[in-house]
Amino acid sequence: MSSILVLGSANLDLVVRQPRIARPGETMFGTAFSTVPGGKGLNQAVAAARAGADVGFLGAVGDDEFGRRLRTQLETDGIDTTGLATVDQPTGTAHIAVTDDGENSIVVVSGANHVQVALDDTMRSAIEGARTLVLQLERPVSLVAEALAYAQAHGVRTVLTPAPVAPLPSDLLALVTVLVPNAREACELAGVDDEFAAARILGEQGSTVIITRGSRGVLVLEPGGEPRVLPAVVVEPVDTTGAGDTFTGALCAWLAEDASLDDAIRAGQVAAAISVTRPGATSAMPGRSEILAALG
């Protein structure tokens, strides 16, 4: 059984580098193209494994070249793929435009990721044996909600990245131990414009709320406390794709070792800062020794 179990998406990222985001109706020349294993679930699993955690993955891919490549990537990083199903839909893809300033825009075609909408016995058994269940919203919300409830019933810590942000059932947040949105997602979920107010609202159900804000640091709200800011690790970004997933994966790896919340957040910040200084998502994620060296 895995200490960290990720239930999430697996996509192949199709990445083009370009000077800026194209305007409607405009054709422009890009400067580079690459294909990289991705999907928020796979990204977080790889980040956690490289940060030193024992990781299992629950997901779905198609019976195609992309799916085989994603399975190989997970296995290469030492991740248990017993729960990675092969289904009768094409493997998911993410179409990513990375601009010269390091920002990105992403269009996801879910494919196999949206085939399964309820837990099966393999998933239930894996959840029961984990210490932490990590989820995002690139799988059906019904599956995410059922997994959260099952994990809570079995005493398993739950970590949710609410991305891509979507309306959630009113009782879903009560099932989340640690909620990790970015600033835009937090405000949209809470229905407010202020990040501090968003943290308070999202924490009302008892979750620890960790709002990632890039160069402005991380906003943290622990149950019963007030929001506080942990400063960013400042670097010059090359490509921010996967930075949030790198943060979450390293955060969970440190939490799995019973590190303090602040130490786990700092490890996540350092891992994400390293990742944005080089291109790609999984291809940019650091290993444990690199994170430890940067932590000092």
Nearest to 268 by CA among 282, 283, 288, 238: 288
**Residue at 33 is within a domain:** no
pLDDT at residue 222 in the model: 98
- Classify the phi-psi angles of 146: left when phi > 0, otherwise alpha if psi is within -120 to 50, otherwise beta: alpha
Model confidence at 76, in pLDDT bands (50, 70, 90)? very high
Cβ contact 277:237 at 8 Å: yes
**Residue at 30 is within a domain:** no
**Residue at 17 is within a domain:** no
The catalytic residue positions are 245
pLDDT > 70: what percent of the chain? 100
User: What's 278's domain CATH number?
Assistant: 3.40.1190.20
pLDDT at residue 241 in the model: 83
Q: Is the pLDDT of residue 47 over 70?
A: yes
Distance CA 280, CA 38 (A): 9
Model confidence at 219, in pLDDT bands (50, 70, 90)? very high
Calculate mean pLDDT across residues 30-57: 96
241 assigned binding-site residue? yes
Calculate mean pLDDT across residues 20-42: 93
Answer with the residue of higher pLDDT: 238 or 139. 139
**Residue at 246 is within a domain:** yes
Answer with the residue of higher pLDDT: 9 or 1. 9
Range of the domain at 226: 4-9+39-88+111-295
**Residue at 52 is within a domain:** yes
Model confidence at 151, in pLDDT bands (50, 70, 90)? very high
Cβ contact 246:275 at 8 Å: yes
Q: How many domains does the chain have?
A: 1
Model confidence at 103, in pLDDT bands (50, 70, 90)? confident
Calculate mean pLDDT across residues 45-70: 98
Q: Which amino acid is at 8?
A: G
Model confidence at 102, in pLDDT bands (50, 70, 90)? confident
**Residue at 196 is within a domain:** yes
Q: Is the pLDDT of residue 1 over 70?
A: no
113 assigned binding-site residue? no
Calculate mean pLDDT across residues 188-206: 96
104 assigned binding-site residue? no
224 assigned binding-site residue? no
Q: Is the pLDDT of residue 2 over 80?
A: no
- What is the average pLDDT value for the chain, to the nearest integer? 95
Q: Is the pLDDT of residue 216 over 70?
A: yes
**Residue at 249 is within a domain:** yes
Instruction: Name which of 16-25, 97-106, 122-131, 150-159 the model is least confident about.
Output: 97-106
Q: Is the pLDDT of residue 194 over 80?
A: yes
184 assigned binding-site residue? no
244 assigned binding-site residue? yes
Give 144's contacts (C-beta < 8 A, 6+ positions apart). 7, 135, 136, 137, 160, 172
Model confidence at 104, in pLDDT bands (50, 70, 90)? confident
pLDDT > 90: what percent of the chain? 87
pLDDT digits (tens, 9 = 90+) for 132-142: 999 999 999 99
**Residue at 132 is within a domain:** yes
pLDDT at residue 140 in the model: 95
